[in-house]
Structure formats: structure tokens, C-alpha cells
């Protein structure tokens, strides 16, 4: 089952404090999951301990490359190591943060974020949802926290330090960022001319037209001199920005 949001938040706070310490020592756990997080005493102030450091390793600045862990908690960049030859691709501490995002999702909803049937595809595309009855009473700021950990690109994820400063923990007023509205694509405007009705223009007139065209379309090159009236001309389409 799922935890009340307040309990889930305090559990995550304690886990993040522990992971922040590990990461400050350049240690990656690489197998963070609920089974490896023990609650010391549920009847008092929440205290948790991280266990099972069998896959933990100290990483250099280039990260690690061993494909290991528990599939449901793999980060997308860890999956990229699957089936690769030695030396291709690496991953860093951000992989632990992804796993924490999965854990938080489970604590808040009591469900797994990714479908086992197409597990790896769903992970690689962060294909999950926060719809349904189990999410009805979860705050928007808590959902945003989970989203900030389950970002496909490692650089877009919260670090342990930044995660602890998220409004979910600090209690600061939270306003979800709003994406700018998508504007409809405007088709290019087509202009047509009838060469049989086009008047002749002197070189001075052509020059004036060129200057006028440059003012209306500063990025366009000046038009060439007009062809004689009897010549066939093709219309020139303009584009709108």
C-alpha cells in the first residue's frame, strides 16, 4: 500500500540526507530500492537506514560503466550500458537519483511507475503517469518532486542537495512552471502576378521597389531587375516569422 504523503516525505528526506553523504564521498549505491531501505522505528520520529552496499562503488569524475542493479529501478543511462562493449558509455550519481524517483513514486501511490511488459522502453522514455485514484490526494508539489527525479536526461535531474531544497521539503510556496502555449504554424503567404498586366518600370522605379522590399523584408536580398512585360515570371512567396 501507499504511505500518507507526510510520512512519505519524511522517509524521502532521511534517505536523501544519507544519499547526499554518500555522493559527497563519490560513492554510488547503484541498487536503491524499498527493500534496501529500513525504517528503524515507525512509532517515533521517522528514521531510516540504507542497506545492501554490495553493488556500491566509489566513482571517479568519469562515472561508472557496469550494467548492474534491479531492472525496475534502472536509470535510462544505465540501460544504455546493456549489451555494450567494455568502455562504451558511463553513468554517474544521477542514476541513484532516478532510483529515488521510482521509490518516491511507490511511496506516494503504492504502484510501480513502469510497466513490466515493456519495462525498458518505458524507462528509456520516462513513460509513466500520475493519473488515477491513487494520485487524487497527492499534492502537486509532491508530483513535481517525483518528476524532477524521473527526468530522462541526467543533467535535468535534481542532485541530492538540490532535492532537499525542493519546496516539498522546505514548505516554500510552489507554483508549477507553465510551458508557453504552442502557436499554430502559419503557412507561407503566396503572391501571384500576372505578367500580361505587369507595368514596365524604369531603372529608378526598380531601385525604389528594391529599397521598399528591403525595408519590408530586411533579411531578403534585393530583387533583381524586372523582366520585360512579355517574359514569363513566377510568383515569389514570402514567409511569415
Q: Single out the residue of 105, 106, 91, 8 nearest to residue 55, CA to CA.
A: 91
Strand partners, 189: 238
Catalytic residue list contains 196 = no
Question: Which range (48-57, 144-153, 186-195) has the least confidence?
Answer: 186-195
Local structure of residue 91 (DSSP, 8 states):
B
Strand partners, 37: 50
Q: How far is CA 47 from CA 24, 128, 134, in A?
A: 21, 29, 25
Q: What is the pLDDT of residues 135-179, one digit of tens each?
A: 999 999 999 999 999 999 999 999 999 999 999 999 988 887 765
- Mapped onto helix, strand or coil, the DSSP state of residue 235 is coil
Distance CA 35, CA 51 (A): 9
Distance CA 105, CA 198 (A): 69
Q: What is the pLDDT of residues 110-123, one digit of tens each?
A: 999 998 889 999 99
Q: Which domains does the chain have, with CATH numbers?
A: 5-51+63-169 (1.10.510.10)
Grid cell in block for residue 51: 542497506
- Mapped onto helix, strand or coil, the DSSP state of residue 65 is coil
Which of 31, 52, 96, 161 is catalytic? The answer is 31
Contact between residue 188 and residue 237 where contact means Cβ atoms under 8 Å apart: yes
Amino acid at each position: 500500500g501507499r504511505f500518507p504523503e507526510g510520512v512519505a516525505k519524511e522517509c524521502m528526506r532521511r534517505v536523501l540526507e544519507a544519499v547526499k553523504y554518500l555522493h559527497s564521498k563519490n560513492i554510488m549505491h547503484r541498487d536503491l530500492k524499498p527493500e534496501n531501505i529500513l525504517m528503524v522505528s515507525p512509532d517515533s520520529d521517522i528514521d531510516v537506514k540504507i542497506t545492501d552496499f554490495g553493488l556500491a562503488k566509489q566513482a571517479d569524475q568519469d562515472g561508472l560503466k557496469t550494467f548492474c542493479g534491479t531492472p525496475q529501478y534502472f536509470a535510462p543511462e544505465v540501460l544504455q550500458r546493456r549489451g555494450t562493449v567494455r568502455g562504451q558509455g558511463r553513468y554517474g550519481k544521477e542514476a541513484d537519483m532516478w532510483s529515488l524517483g521510482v521509490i518516491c513514486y511507490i511511496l506516494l501511490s503504492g504502484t510501480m511507475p513502469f510497466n513490466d511488459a515493456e519495462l525498458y522502453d518505458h524507462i528509456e522514455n520516462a513513460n509513466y503517469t500520475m493519473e488515477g485514484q491513487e494520485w487524487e490526494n497527492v499534492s502537486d508539489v509532491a508530483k513535481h518532486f517525483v518528476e524532477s527525479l524521473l527526468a530522462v536526461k541526467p543533467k535535468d535531474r535534481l542532485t541530492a542537495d538540490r532535492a532537499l531544497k525542493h519546496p516539498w521539503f522546505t514548505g516554500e510556496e510552489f507554483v508549477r512552471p507553465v510551458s508557453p502555449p504552442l502557436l499554430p504554424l502559419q503557412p507561407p503567404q503566396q503572391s501571384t502576378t500576372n505578367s500580361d498586366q505587369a507595368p514596365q518600370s524604369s531603372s529608378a522605379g526598380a531601385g525604389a521597389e528594391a529599397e521598399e522590399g528591403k525595408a519590408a523584408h530586411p533579411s531578403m536580398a534585393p530583387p533583381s531587375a524586372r523582366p520585360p512585360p512579355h517574359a514569363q515570371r513566377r510568383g515569389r512567396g514570402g514567409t511569415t516569422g
